[in-house]
Amino acid sequence: MRMVWPAVRKSRPPSPISKSHNLVNKWVRLRPICRILETKELRRWIVQDLQNKGVTGVDKGRKPPILLELCILLFYQLCQAYCVRMQSWRWVLAVMLAAGSARAQWEILPSGSTADLRGVQAIGNGVAWASGTEGTVLRTINDGKEWQRCATPPDAEHVDFRGVQAFDASTAIVMSSGKGALSRLYKMTDGCKSWKLVFTNPDADGFFDTIVADRDQGFLIGDPVNGSFAIFSSIHTGLEVWNRFGKLAPPLYAGIYSGSFKRETLFAASNSVLEGGPSSDIAFVTGGEDSALFHEAAWNIRGPSGYPTTLAWTASLPLAKGASAGAFSLAGYGEQTLKHKRQYVVVGGDYMKPDSSTGTSAFSKDGGQHWFVPVTAPQGYRSAVAYDAGSKTWITVGSNGTDISTDDGRNWRALRPNAGLHEPADADQHWNALSLPFVVGPKGRIGKLRPDALKPGLPTSAPTLQGVSR
């Protein structure tokens, strides 16, 4: 009769966190033994070993005495139960360790600044720039270990630099936001030593919100003036000359940025409501009391200002609406010239209700023509979103937390601080803008994403899409 040993009684395990490495090491050592036990040939193995040692009562070709038989079976059942338990621990520990690494996130860096930072641009090779209030522009050339404050432009001690576009360790352009002449563009080419004022807002009631630029071309959008968004561009001038975009445009252009949508506005929270630029098409998102909208326009360079082609549309976004609500950040990936294949994610909400998860995110799979709400939304207002191509992960930040999505915005999960890595309890909070791997926030707050933070999450079921179309 086959002996079946009763199940081992479950007891409360010792602290798995403190003893995890010991348990894993034990399993590695015991795994060969457990595999022998799983073959159910323990008897033959033990009998052969006893015969080799010359133990009396165990003759070759004969069955061992009944007492030895019972001892062998007892040892077999105990070892098998232990190995099963160890294998269970192995899987539990694997899940725990994986979850622990997924929670690791922002390493808080010393910036030496107290400014409210809203602009950041990481350009690789350890170089990144950040900008904010009090005429502050910071630069690192050693991957965030040290941040140098650049010279403050003349008469800019009190301006708010909401956006920065950098091209190397020496060259950058910064955008200040404010009413009328407080909205300006400064350019630097000597690595933090001096600035040149290249453009001042010509509209007394205007307000610069966002800028994108490369070394030779740039694109800038401000709040509506006289019923139209203020749009400026610099084309093949090294960002030295800026013109009102579309001044030579045909009537079609008016349909792209006209004020037909009442009380529509842009938010300058993170310099990320605009995608594209003078050498391609553009896309930008808005908010306001009546609507949150996505605007798309493809255009060709024609003369100093350029004008769009017939490819243009506006789509409604399923986001929160209100004077302090709407879309605050847009990011995308995919083929830039075939917009129907481009993936977009937009985040926002109501910054006056930072803990409300209603209307905080939407995603599009066809270049912005149709938008859908996620099954699981970010847990509050979010001011910036970015896509990490290496891990195929979206990450969004805001005042009350950080969230990631591994399924193109359909589901979001919180990225929590890891006490085991000595991360502060609020390491996921109080952020304004990001340019991976860096993130910036109020009071000179700068963080850097840990390399193991964006781990693939558990697979999620296919969501039921709820969307709106243009």
**Res 335 pLDDT > 80:** no
Same domain membership, residue 140 and residue 99: no
pLDDT in tens, 155-191: 999 999 999 999 999 999 999 999 999 999 999 999 9
Q: Is residue 31 part of a domain?
A: yes
**Res 210 pLDDT > 50:** yes
Distance CA(228)–CA(289), nearest Å, equals 17
Same domain membership, residue 88 and residue 28: yes
* Percentage, residues of the chain above pLDDT 70: 66
Same domain membership, residue 387 and residue 273: yes
Q: Is residue 39 part of a domain?
A: yes
Q: Which residue has the tokens 């009546």?
A: 290
**Span 381-409, mean pLDDT?**
96
Same domain membership, residue 30 and residue 139: no
Least confident of 82-86, 142-146, 220-224: 82-86
Q: Which residues span the domain enclosing 77?
A: 20-103
Most confident of 61-65, 133-137, 254-258: 133-137
Same domain membership, residue 95 and residue 72: yes
pLDDT in tens, 118-159: 999 999 999 999 999 999 999 999 999 999 999 999 899 999
Same domain membership, residue 269 and residue 173: yes
How high is the pLDDT of residue 246?
57
Q: Which amino acid is at 49?
A: D
Q: Is residue 392 part of a domain?
A: yes
Same domain membership, residue 90 and residue 34: yes
DSSP single-letter state for residue 251: G
Among 54, 75, 103, which residue terminates a domain?
103
Among 52, 79, 103, which residue terminates a domain?
103
Confidence of residue 100 (pLDDT cuts 50, 70, 90): very low
What ranges make up the beta strands (E) of 226-319?
228-235, 243-244, 264-265, 274-276, 282-285, 287-288, 293-300, 307-316
Q: Is residue 5 part of a domain?
A: no
Are the C-beta atoms of 230 and 221 separated by less than 8 Å? Answer: yes
Q: Is residue 228 part of a domain?
A: yes
CA 339 vs. chain centroid, Å, equals 22
Q: Which of 415, 405, 414 is nearest to 459 (CA)?
A: 405
| Residue 267 or residue 342, greater confidence | 267
Q: Is residue 298 part of a domain?
A: yes
Same domain membership, residue 163 and residue 58: no
At 200, which CATH number?
2.130.10.10
Q: Is residue 65 part of a domain?
A: yes
Structure-token pair, residue 321: 């609406």
Among 103, 128, 150, which residue terminates a domain?
103
Same domain membership, residue 185 and residue 318: yes
Domain count, the chain: 2
Q: Is residue 303 part of a domain?
A: yes
Same domain membership, residue 112 and residue 99: no
Same domain membership, residue 281 and residue 204: yes
Q: Which residue has the tokens 């994986």?
A: 98
Distance CA(358)–CA(379), nearest Å, equals 9
How high is the pLDDT of residue 29?
46
Are the C-beta atoms of 332 and 283 separated by less than 8 Å? Answer: yes
Same domain membership, residue 135 and residue 258: yes
Confidence of residue 52 (pLDDT cuts 50, 70, 90): low
